[in-house]
Amino acid sequence: QVQLEESGGGLVQAGGSLRLSCAASGTIFSINTMGWYRQASAFTRESVADITSGGRTNYADSVKGRFTISRDNAKNTVFLQMNSLKSEDTAVYYCKAIVDPYRSGYRQYWGQGTQVTVSS
């Protein structure tokens, strides 16, 4: 079984910064892409950023230049540094990882989510 545990959410004023972390644990042979999604109430879950095992990154247009995704492959951990936060960044942030747990193919796993609230 694979577990993803997020941390680092909280309440911050507009213009401030937060750093999210997501650590994968359990039976893991390899991890492909890791990423962050977010869901504000009454809206669909949207992709924020993702990063491949080789370090290639993708960002939503709304966060380019403000957020930075990175990962520590040795620790199976992905980070999201969020700067210049805006009220519209308020959402529950979810970590997703594409994991091959048993050397039998990749599967998608999600974390439980961490709340980020930006006050204006």
pLDDT digits (tens, 9 = 90+) for 23-51: 999 999 999 999 999 999 888 999 999 99
pLDDT digits (tens, 9 = 90+) for 50-108: 999 999 999 999 999 999 999 999 999 999 999 999 999 999 999 999 999 988 899 99
| Residue 10 pLDDT class (50, 70, 90 cuts) | very high
Q: What is the mean pLDDT of residues 108-112?
A: 97
Task: Please write down the HEC assignment for all residues of the chain.
Answer: CEEEEEECCEEEECCCCEEEEEEEEECCCEEEEEEEEEECCCCCCEEEEEECCCCCEEECCCCCCCEEEEEEHHHCEEEEEECCCCHHHCEEEEEEEEEECCCCCCEEEECCCEEEEEEC
